[in-house]
Amino acid sequence: MGNKISTSETLDKEDLEKIEELKMISNFSDKELNRLIRIFNQLDADKSGTVGTQELFQMKEFRANPFIHRITKVSLGKEDDGDNTSLSIQEFAQLMSVFSIRATREQKLRYAFKIYDVDGDGKVNYVIRG
């Protein structure tokens, strides 16, 4: 089965292990993970087991977000190379986890700070130019 996760009602052992792994690295419940997996699979149009930044733009939550490239960099710890940046289901779950209602205030604040600390000097220095 590889990197794919079934979204059917009956999950096999590998799927259950994958969900348990995702629960350990995210703030999501089983039900939320099933939904997240369905979204991931819809975005993964080529069925490669990954989604690219451009595929994330299909999500209305990211489509108009001016910080999508910073969000990707902060979440993955790597530069967003446009079409070359891809996220596994694990990375996607981590990226989305900070937006979860279960994410703590501290997690959200730390994440937001990293978005605005562009050069990593510990200071907010991100300016949106219109």
Residue 126 near residue 69 (C-beta atoms within 8 A):
no
Question: What confidence score (pLDDT) does residue 78 get?
Answer: 60
Q: The domain 13-116: what is its CATH number? A: 1.10.238.10
Query: pLDDT digit string (tens) for 111-126?
Result: 889 888 888 888 887 6
Question: What confidence score (pLDDT) does residue 17 get?
Answer: 78
Question: What confidence score (pLDDT) does residue 2 get?
Answer: 45
Domain boundaries, the chain: 13-116
Give the residues of the chain that fall short of pLDDT 50. 1-2, 5-8
Please give the model's pTM, rounded to 2 decimal places: 0.73
Question: What confidence score (pLDDT) does residue 106 get?
Answer: 93
32-to-25, 28, 63 alpha-carbon distances in Å: 13, 6, 21
Phi, psi of 87 (to 5 degrees): -120, 135
